């Protein structure tokens, strides 16, 4: 009960001796392998419990050429979107006996393929993760995915990636979610609807705009190119977009911002300019991240099951390489939800 002076950890040999079997049998029991009598199996389990034995990860790694480690490749940014996904990923890893580690990747803009590959090789050779998880803004980067494939590392990507992409993909149906969101605005009676794009190197930007356009067209509305403004998925670009749109000679009555952070910036810009939301301007976001319920009015948006995306991603990744299906392709699509809150209303002068 007092200080244990020798926190000497038991090893497999000790368990074997206590159970009166060979270490190989202990190994078999621990890895749930067949060919062990129930009687011995129980003896071993008792010994394991008694000695509080935990296998040495490094020895297993060395012998089995596995690291029991999944690496999450992140960009340096404070994003509650990624935070939530990370959370789900950690849960799944812990459940499956893996460990989630975080690595930061420099900005890879205008880097050549070879440079990117070298960078990734450096990063992965260091700790040799069994798999890598890619989220925005890297999930949609073809060069990264390709480089990792060449390096023989299993990858799971979260979010909308090229339709032709292979590997493991976990996402929601961005296209239809965007249509839903746009329809909501149209159903309220809006006709001049603006769109704030995200980073152009992310497929999310394009898919969401595509859904938006299709919904507009289907309703017989045209997309005014002047009401399509750039953004970079962050708060301040949303503010800028808002200022641009409100300064327009014939401003929109509603805006589709392609994520919540930009929607928040937009609402802030509107409010500061004396434009009331949703009275004078309706705004929708995308993600349902933390900011959506912290701003006022609260944001109408698409809810992405972020924790679940993270969990499912890890589960599929691990399942894939545990069954030696390395290189296999699968695409998992999770459900989204339209969340009606307070930033949308019918336009005034209809």
Partner DNA sequence: GAGAATTTTGACAAGGTTGTCAATATAGGA
Partner DNA sequence: TCCTATATTGACAACCTTGTCAAAATTCTC
Interface residue with a copy of itself among 136, 264, 281, 299 (CB under 8 A) is 264
Asked whether position 22 contacts DNA by CB under 7 A, the answer is yes
Distance in Å, CB of 331 to a copy of itself, minimum: 23
**Rounded to 10 degrees, what is the CA torsion of 176, 177, 180, 181?**
-140
From 179, 135, 132, 198, select the one nearest 161 (Cα to Cα). Answer: 135
From 194, 193, 191, 196, select the one nearest 220 (Cα to Cα). Answer: 191
Asked whether position 243 contacts a copy of itself by CB under 8 A, the answer is no
Distance in Å, CB of 111 to DNA, minimum: 28
Q: What is the DSSP string of 184-239?
A: HHHHHT--SEEEE---TTSHHHHHHHHHHHHHHHHTT----GGGEE---SSHHHHH
Question: Do 260 and 286 touch, CB atoms closer than 8 A?
Answer: yes
Residues 6+ apart with CB under 8 A from 49: none
Distance in Å, CB of 7 to DNA, minimum: 12
CA distance 350 to 340: 21
329 binds, options a copy of itself, DNA, none, Cβ within 5 to 8 A by partner type: none
Q: Are strands 301-303 and 337-339 parallel, antiparallel or unpaired?
A: antiparallel
- Closer residue to DNA in complex, CB, 17/180: 17
- Closer residue to DNA in complex, CB, 55/251: 55
User: What is the chain's alpha carbon radius of gyration, rounded to the nearest angstrom?
Assistant: 26
Asked whether position 274 contacts a copy of itself by CB under 8 A, the answer is no
Bond before 304 cis per omega within 30 degrees:
no
Residues 90-109 touching a copy of itself, rule: CB under 8 A, are 90-91, 94, 97, 99-104
34 binds, options a copy of itself, DNA, none, Cβ within 5 to 8 A by partner type: DNA
Q: What is the DSSP letter of 287?
A: B
Residues 43-82 touching DNA, rule: CB under 7 A, are 53, 55-56, 59-60, 62-65
Asked whether position 84 contacts a copy of itself by CB under 8 A, the answer is yes
Positions that interact with a copy of itself (CB under 8 A): 3-4, 7, 9, 52, 54, 56-59, 61-62, 67-69, 74, 76, 78, 80, 83-84, 86-87, 90-91, 94, 97, 99-104, 121, 125-128, 150-152, 235, 264-265, 268, 271-272, 290-291, 294, 296
Positions that interact with DNA (CB under 7 A): 9, 11-13, 21-25, 27-28, 30-31, 34-37, 39-40, 53, 55-56, 59-60, 62-65
């Amino acid at each position: 009960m007092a200080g244990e002076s020798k926190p000497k950890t038991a090893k497999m040999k000790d368990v074997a001796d206590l159970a009166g079997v060979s270490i190989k049998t202990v190994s078999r029991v621990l890895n749930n392998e067949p060919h062990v009598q129930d009687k011995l199996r129980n003896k071993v389990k008792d010994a394991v419990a008694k000695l509080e034995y935990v296998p040495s990860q490094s020895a297993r790694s060395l012998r089995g050429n596995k690291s029991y480690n999944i690496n999450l490749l992140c960009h340096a940014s404070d994003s509650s979107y990624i935070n939530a996904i990370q959370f789900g990923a950690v849960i799944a890893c812990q459940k499956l006996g893996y460990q989630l580690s975080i690595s930061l990747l420099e900005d890879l803009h205008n880097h050549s393929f070879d440079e990117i590959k070298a960078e990734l090789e450096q990063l992965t050779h260091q700790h040799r993760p069994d798999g890598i998880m890619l989220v925005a803004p890297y999930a949609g980067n073809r060069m990264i995915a390709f480089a990792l494939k060449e390096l023989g590392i299993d990858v799971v990507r979260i979010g909308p990636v090229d339709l032709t992409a292979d590997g493991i993909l976990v996402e929601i149906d961005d296209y239809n979610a965007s249509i839903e969101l746009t329809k909501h605005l149209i159903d309220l009676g809006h006709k001049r609807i603006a769109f704030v794009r995200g980073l152009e190197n992310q497929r999310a930007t394009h898919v969401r705009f595509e859904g938006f356009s299709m919904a507009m067209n289907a309703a017989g509305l045209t997309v005014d190119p002047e009401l399509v403004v750039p953004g970079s998925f962050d708060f301040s670009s949303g503010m800028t977009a808002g200022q641009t749109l409100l300064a327009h000679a014939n401003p929109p009555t509603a805006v589709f911002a392609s994520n919540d952070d930009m929607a928040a910036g937009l609402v802030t810009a509107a409010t500061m300019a004396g434009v009331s939301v949703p009275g004078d301007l309706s705004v929708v976001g995308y993600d349902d991240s933390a900011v959506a319920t912290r701003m006022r009015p609260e944001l109408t948006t698409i809810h992405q099951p972020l924790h679940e995306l993270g969990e499912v991603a890890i589960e599929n990744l691990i399942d894939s390489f545990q069954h030696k299906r390395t290189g296999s392709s699968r695409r998992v699509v999770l459900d989204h939800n339209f969340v009606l809150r307070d930033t949308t209303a019918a336009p005034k002068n209809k």
